[in-house]
Amino acid sequence: MPRTGMAWGPNKEGFVLNILEFALLIGLGSLVAGFLGSLTGLGGGVVIVPLLVLGFGVDIRYAVGASLISVIATSSGAAAAYVREGYTNLRIGMFLEIATSLGAVIGAFLAARIPGAAIAVIFGAVLMYSAYLSGRPQPEPVSEGPPDPLATRLRMKGSYPTPEGPRAYHVRAVPTGFSLMFLAGILSALLGIGSGAVKVLAMDQAMHIPFKVSTTTSNFMIGVTAAASAGIYLRRGYIDPGLAMPVMLGVLLGSLLGARILPGARTRALRLLFSIAVFALAIEMVYHGLTGRI
């Protein structure tokens, strides 16, 4: 039978799982993925898709569809908290969502036309970059020069809370950031990972927005980006409720648990460990894609 993610069929190793066993295993794996993704800021999708494809033999398009549903659920919960705490810049997020949503729609259409092996290789390359981004230190960008005229016109400047009080910042290179967000939207729909790494890169490095504002604003945008493409996946039959439900619940619970532990966790050590694991998954995805095993 085709590898659609249905629990009662054989996976690629030939083992047969019933519905309950499948849901429990997927839910447990998703909980761990959500927990690690919350602690590192990359989201659970970078682990969920390889877990489903490599561990359970799920077709990569169904794995991406399930991951998109979990991204919508987890982003919605965390985004409200970050907005309330004053970190998220809503003006920047809503403007850049135009680019990510357009990219997500295009990426969702491309997903049906690009072979699964090619998607796996692209996924592996993005995972390698995500592993690098997770493992390196995260210094605050140095913002030099005047703000971008477009940012001034759209009133994108803002401030965020610090122990010393609110710290102001302004925004640069808006067209460059907008272009990178379009790419992030395509990758989000094609790979189901939220593409937070690309979003943070665009805001942190290109637009010179403080890292904490970049990550929280990225989280605010991720759910909207995923929703733009999830409808197309649903219409094409790539979202299987039996697969998406345990993934969504597991990632949601894991991310909530990670958010509670994060203040007292040694995040540097966790990021390094997570980056090593993600890099190993990336190599495995690229290998399976190049050898035609996906």
Residue 12 inside a domain? The answer is no
Give the Cα separation of 254 and 259 in Å (integer): 9
Neighbours of 205 (CB within 10 A): 16
Residue 68 inside a domain? The answer is yes
Residue 7 inside a domain? The answer is no
Q: Which residues of 224-247 are buried (b: 16+ CB within 10 A; e: fewer)?
A: bbbbbbbebbeeeebbbebbbbbb
Residue 115 inside a domain? The answer is yes
Place of tokens 């493409």: 229
Q: Quick one: average pLDDT of 35-59?
A: 76
Q: Quote the domain boundaries for residue 86.
A: 19-290
Please give the torsion angle defined by the CA atoms of residues 231, 174, 150 and 228, in that order, rounded to the nearest 10 degrees.
0
Give the Cα separation of 145 and 142 in Å (integer): 10
Q: What's the pLDDT tens digit per position in 238-273?
A: 898 889 999 999 888 887 787 677 555 565 666 676
State the distance between the two ends of the chain, measured CA to CA, in whole angstroms: 15
How many domains is the chain built from?
1
Residue 11 inside a domain? The answer is no
Residue 4 inside a domain? The answer is no
Q: What's the pLDDT tens digit per position in 169-198?
A: 888 888 988 998 898 888 888 887 766 667
Residue 59 inside a domain? The answer is yes
Single-letter code of the amino acid located at 228: A
- The predicted model scores a pTM of 0.75
pLDDT band at 204 (very low <50, low <70, confident <90, very high): confident
Is pLDDT at 205 greater than 80 in this prediction?
no
3-class DSSP state for residue 273? Answer: helix
Residue 14 inside a domain? The answer is no
